[in-house]
Amino acid sequence: MDSTLASHPQKGEFFLLEAGAISGPACGVVFENLDRLLSPPRMILLPEEGGIPPLREVPRLAFNPAVGAPPRDLEAGFSGYWLVSERLHDVMAAADPSAFAFADVDYRLEDGSQGARHYLCTVTRVIDALDEGASKLFIDTSEDFINGKFYDLSGGASVTFDRSKLAAAHAFKTPYTGTVFCDRTFKDAVAAAGIATDSDADGMWFIDASDI
């Protein structure tokens, strides 16, 4: 393959990994003891530096059908974290164990009984690997961003990454956007576990990074 062509964004190579419903009912899981886990003045559990902070007690979450639907394999909006099912946790831990941090939760059903095992999850790996020369995107340097710039993907973009910098990484963030990216290997591992990857039916939406 021509090296020039190979450096361009290739369809099906990398993906934005987004959580939550594009359409459909909201998740009906509520965080019951968040107030006892927070460290004021911070308003969310996720620390500025990321990861899982020391927890005073096990996060307690409960399904309330009056609020919404049962959780899918991945749900966003839990004080900065994703809520993930056991089968998705197992895929993440097997496909790229260094990319994620998890916290066990006490998940209860409507009647108070123990529900299926779930975890709070966050992507902890950050790699400056986006190939700016081969990608098409708006790089915003007009403000005093913490890391000096911001990758603005909101108007559409086509991005790819330097494999030599990614090494064995399959899921990651960049220092210049909060977006989670993954590669084909990770997406295929999710699909092999029976989780939908061509729709948001199970709470995961894979958007081809070559055509955002």
Q: How far apart are CA 165 and CA 119, in angstroms?
A: 29
Q: How confident is the model at residue 6 (pLDDT cuts 50, 70, 90)?
A: low
User: How does pLDDT run across 16-74, given as a tens digit for each residue?
Assistant: 999 865 556 789 999 999 999 998 899 999 999 999 999 999 999 999 999 999 999 99
Do 190 and 19 form a contact (C-beta atoms < 8 A)?
A: no
Pair of tokens at residue 38: 């927070």
Do 168 and 189 form a contact (C-beta atoms < 8 A)?
A: no
Amino acid at 58: V
Q: Which residue has the tokens 């927890």?
A: 55
Q: How confident is the model at residue 3 (pLDDT cuts 50, 70, 90)?
A: very low
Pair of tokens at residue 161: 């990454």
Residue 8 has pLDDT above 90, yes or no: no
Question: Can you give the pLDDT at residue 24?
Answer: 63
Backbone angles phi, psi at 35, to 5 degrees: -60, -25
Helices (H), 35-85: none
Q: Which of 118, 137, 143 is nearest to 179 (CA)?
A: 137
Pair of tokens at residue 21: 């419903």
Helices (H), 23-176: 86-95, 163-166
User: How does pLDDT run across 97-151, given as a tens digit for each residue?
Assistant: 999 999 999 999 999 999 999 999 999 999 999 999 999 999 999 888 888 899 9
Tell me what the pLDDT averaged over the chain comes to. Answer: 93
Number of Cβ within 10 Å of residue 119's Cβ equals: 23
Buried b (16+ CB within 10 A) or exposed e, 12-23: eebbbbbbbbee
Listed by start position, the domains of the chain span 10-20+126-208, 29-123
Work out whether the CA dihedral 87, 89, 93, 99 comes out positive or negative.
positive
Q: How far apart are CA 193 and CA 59, in angstroms?
A: 26
Q: How far apart are CA 205 and CA 19, in angstroms?
A: 6
